[in-house]
Structure 1
């Protein structure tokens, strides 16, 4: 009897979730949008990492295609993203007893213009920024740079996703 009640409860819960419309377990709601356009984000920062523009644009496209059912298009998308990378800087964060830097911080800032052609009140232009700390004795190349970019771009792209379709 107890097993039957669990099965019944599960069935009713499933019906309610399906009946309430398209629910996304990622927290993103794309409404009636079917297409997505993400333009190339050029690097306008004073210090330039050559691969950053391509990598950021690709990571943002990948996040949206993985977590939504939107189709990526080259023009006239229902949801439209444009912008530029405006900051790429390395700053010392903590000092040692001999007054040298013990840790550095890489910070990347991206300016994003989002346009929802179906719901204009959702449109925005915002700056998103995040950082990664690394040992000052390490050069910001190779695996150190890759690890920093992985951490920063994951956070920045997720913040953009949350601000545009998750409404967080």
Structure 2
């Protein structure tokens, strides 16, 4: 009987907190400030001088997908019309042997990509963060190495996009 009363009080307390607006929850794990409605994500210049083509397009698509499909934010066409900006550049691309067979041949290669990015609210002078993000993935060099490298690069970019998204929304 006492346990039921405690449970009832706890449920009542949770409902009260939720209705008072002090408790915010989003099913995507993000809680965005009410005054942030738009984000500008320009293409990240590929300064890596190597690797798979269209890295900028692939990273931009991954970032837009996360911010637009996993939050209530709308994509802005310009910095001036945005409440937040996520920008940067692809600074490094490496494709190196990861595993070598007994005959000295590489059986697995690892693609590693590094991106330097900055996230800032447009109404603030200081950036929320400015960091380097890296992602890596291995692929079998004996099975269609061109497609393997492309798929590994896409996976590395997805890791980077996830980490950038998580860092941007973790303070929300």
Q: TM-score, normalised by structure 2?
A: 0.80
User: Quick check: 107-116 or 23-32, which moved more?
Assistant: 23-32
How far is the alpha carbon of 1:118 from its aligned partner?
A: 4.2
In the alignment, is residue 158 of structure 1 matched against residue 162 of structure 2?
yes
Residues 13 and 109 (structure 1 numbering): CA distance in 2 closer, same or farther, change over 3 Å? same
Contact 1:39 1:57 survives alignment (8 Å): yes
How many residues are treated as equivalent by the alignment?
Answer: 167
Alignment of 1:61-72 (within 5 A): 61-72=64-75
Q: Please, which runs of 5 or more residues in structure 2 have no aligned partner?
A: 1-5
2:99 corresponds to which of 94, 97, 103: 94
Contact 1:33 1:118 survives alignment (8 Å): no
1:113 corresponds to which of 118, 121, 126: 118
CA distance in 1, matches of 2:37, 2:23: 15
How far is the alpha carbon of 1:21 from its aligned partner?
A: 4.9
Residues 105 and 123 (structure 1 numbering): CA distance in 2 closer, same or farther, change over 3 Å? same
Residues 15 and 146 (structure 1 numbering): CA distance in 2 closer, same or farther, change over 3 Å? farther
Computed over aligned residues only, the root mean square deviation of the Cα atoms, in angstroms, reads 2.8
CA distance in 1, matches of 2:145, 2:170: 33
Q: TM-score, normalised by structure 1?
A: 0.82
